[in-house]
Amino acid sequence: MNVFQGSKPGNFVQTIERVSLILDILGQNPHGISVRDLSSKVNLPKGTTHRLLSSLSYLGYVRQDPKTRNYLLGFKLVELGNLLLGQLDLRKEAAPFLKDLAERTKETVHMVILDRNEVVYIDKVEGDHNPSGLRMASRIGLRNPAHSSAVGKVLISLLSDEELDQFLRGKGLLKRTENTITDTAQLKEHLRMVRNQGYAVDDEENEKGVRCVGAPIYNEAGNAVAAISISGPAFRVTKKMVQEIFKKEVMETALKVSQRLGYRERR
């Protein structure tokens, strides 16, 4: 399962790289950013930055706040994002199973894919067992480190040795909480266990107070294409609940989705 983008092509267009960087920075500034500050962050002259923004604004990828004059992401990206999600048959096929899992466990169910060393949430179903009024902070489109999440760990546990080493050389093992595994050797050993058991647990490793259990989804070729998880407050999704109920529930649902995609277990 190759999740990396490969080496930079020899005919790489620098303008595309600049536009990508601008969009990334705008995405990190939900209240917008001025041309001056943006040009500083992308290390380009203000005039060059303004020309790029003008073209992106014309095409709808960027918009400008009429009051602050700051630039923000444009709604064209929402349109493209929805088109992308619509092309993911995986979401359509998995939807009834995710809904059923959330209804049965009364906890939040997520589905993610692995993209460039991170997990990207492509679906989310809220459970109705919510007496405390708590809501998961996750949302569709959100990215999280793979090494600190149950869904991420279960996916990278299936990488080849070469792919895993490439992953580990990537963004590094960011410490999200005191429980996050940040030692390379320890993570490799942990991933071997995850691979053998077929599920992973995020024991408050990505977000304090939240525990998750995840399992992989396979396609007809036997490749892991996504992962699903059950997530909730650690006081409710206890270690005992994970072992006695939730790990079985998430693994069985992941298998049902996999079979819907044409996967057949090897005997």
Q: Is the distance from CB of 95 to CB of 247 less than 8 angstroms?
A: no
Per-residue model confidence as pLDDT tens digits over 114-153: 987 899 999 999 887 654 445 566 778 788 999 999 999 9
Q: Which domains does the chain have, with CATH numbers?
A: 14-79 (1.10.10.10), 88-260 (3.30.450.40)
Output the six-digit token pair for 176.
Answer: 């999200």
Alpha helices in 28-114 (DSSP H): 35-42, 46-59, 76-87, 89-105
Confidence of residue 267 (pLDDT cuts 50, 70, 90): low
Six-digit token string for 37: 């500050």
Contact in structure between 160 and 142 (CB atoms under 8 Å): no
> Whole-angstrom Cα distance, residue 107 to residue 135?
10
- Planar angle of CA 124, 141, 84, nearest 5 degrees: 100
Q: Could you tell me if 226 and 152 are in contact, meaning their C-beta atoms sit under 8 angstroms apart? A: no
Q: What is the dihedral of CA 151, 152, 155, 159, to 10 degrees?
A: -170
- Please state, as a whole number, how many other Cβ atoms lie within 10 Å of the Cβ of residue 250: 28
**High-pLDDT (> 70) share of the chain, %:** 91
The whole-number pLDDT of residue 11 equals 75
CA distance 23 to 15: 12
Confidence of residue 261 (pLDDT cuts 50, 70, 90): confident
pLDDT at 87: 57
Beta strand pairing call for 143-145 and 118-125: antiparallel
Confidence at 236, pLDDT banded by 50, 70, 90: very high
Read off the pTM.
Answer: 0.71
Q: What phi-psi label fits residue 48: left (phi over 0), alpha (psi between -120 and 50 degrees) or beta?
A: alpha
Query: Which residues, other chains included, contact 46 with Cβ-Cβ below 8 Å and sequence gap of 6+?
Result: 35, 36, 39
